[in-house]
Amino acid sequence: MSTSLVVLTDFFAVSNRALSYAAGLAVPLHAHLVLLHVRHDGLLAPDEYRSRHTPSAERRTDRALLKLAAEQPVPTDVDVSEQYLPDAVQEAVDRHQPLLLVLGRPGSATAPEEIVVSTAMDLLRHAPHPLLIVPTVGWDSFPPRRLLLAVDGQSFRLVEHQDVLRQLLQATQGTLEVLHITDDEHARPGTAAVLATVRENDLADALTETSVTELYQPTVTGGVLQEAARREADLVVVVARRHSLLGGLFHRSITAQLIQESPIPVLVLPAEG
């Protein structure tokens, strides 16, 4: 069976481009999609729709989801859950074993960015799995071929799916650059040490010290986004630790800021530690 990408969606979510982005990725990955709809979640089922959760309305929603699935360029299943979102996502991960979870960042009145960021952080804590956050606007390069991996210079071990970058790079014929941002409060680990943390996880082939950039910037988020813009990156990748969410320079607020502020998609890889 092919690998899958699970898209967290209600049947209106095509407007935030996450579904179309996931479908576009699924083609070169030879993957299928799973549309995960959580009926009673505030993000995936906003207030104006939750009041319509009568049996007949739910049947209409199910039919609309099936219609949306049939319109995708790859085989697409529908998974409807009555659970709370983290539990629903964990169950979907156990059932479908997806390569990625995909979440849109619409920033609309019904789903402000703060809710999307909070949802993403909750998922990383309670259902750790590679999570791709797709903004509504700001990106136009597809498929992503210039990937920028931002690391904190400390050793890490990915929870699972450590081959996700390798699969993305192979499917899109992309390139990977490694970035470490430092400031006055943190010692510079050195290029060799930064590269060693990436090689320990076998994230990509043929990485050398020339693939690593170390920069000083007043803020980590600003430095990552500035360098991503300078390099015309298509996708920012960050490593989130399970317990501290992001260790060293990358603590929770930095993760949240990158998710909220990045004009291009962000892929978060959960790690131990």
- Check pLDDT > 70 for residue 271: yes
Q: Do 159 and 99 share a structural domain?
A: no
Q: Do 46 and 103 share a structural domain?
A: yes
Q: Do 120 and 150 share a structural domain?
A: no
Residue where one domain finishes, among candidates 108, 135, 162: 135
pTM of the model: 0.88
Residue where one domain finishes, among candidates 103, 135, 167: 135
Q: Do 80 and 13 share a structural domain?
A: yes
> CA–CA separation, 263 vs 250, rounded Å?
19
β-partners of residue 268 are 131, 238
Q: Do 36 and 159 share a structural domain?
A: no
Report DSSP letters for 11-50, one per residue: TTGGGGSHHHHHHHHHHHHT-EEEEEEETT-TTTS-HHHH
> CA–CA separation, 184 vs 161, rounded Å?
34
φ/ψ (deg, to 5) at 38: -105, 110
C-alpha 173 chain-centroid distance: 19
Q: Can you give the residue range of the structural domain that contains 161? A: 146-272
**Residues 161-206 pLDDT 10s:** 778 988 999 999 999 999 988 876 666 778 888 888 888 888 887 7
Judge whether 199 lies within some domain.
Answer: yes
**Residues 115-139 pLDDT 10s:** 777 788 888 888 889 999 988 765 5
Judge whether 141 lies within some domain.
Answer: no
Tell me how crowded residue 205 is: count the other CB atoms within 10 A of its CB. Answer: 9
- In the chain, the number of structural domains is 2
- Check pLDDT > 60 for residue 109: no
Q: Do 174 and 60 share a structural domain?
A: no
Q: Do 184 and 68 share a structural domain?
A: no
Q: Specify whether the CB–CB gap between 150 and 217 falls below 8 A.
A: no
Q: Do 37 and 59 share a structural domain?
A: yes
Q: Do 268 and 159 share a structural domain?
A: yes
Lowest-pLDDT range, 16-20, 35-39, 246-250?
A: 246-250
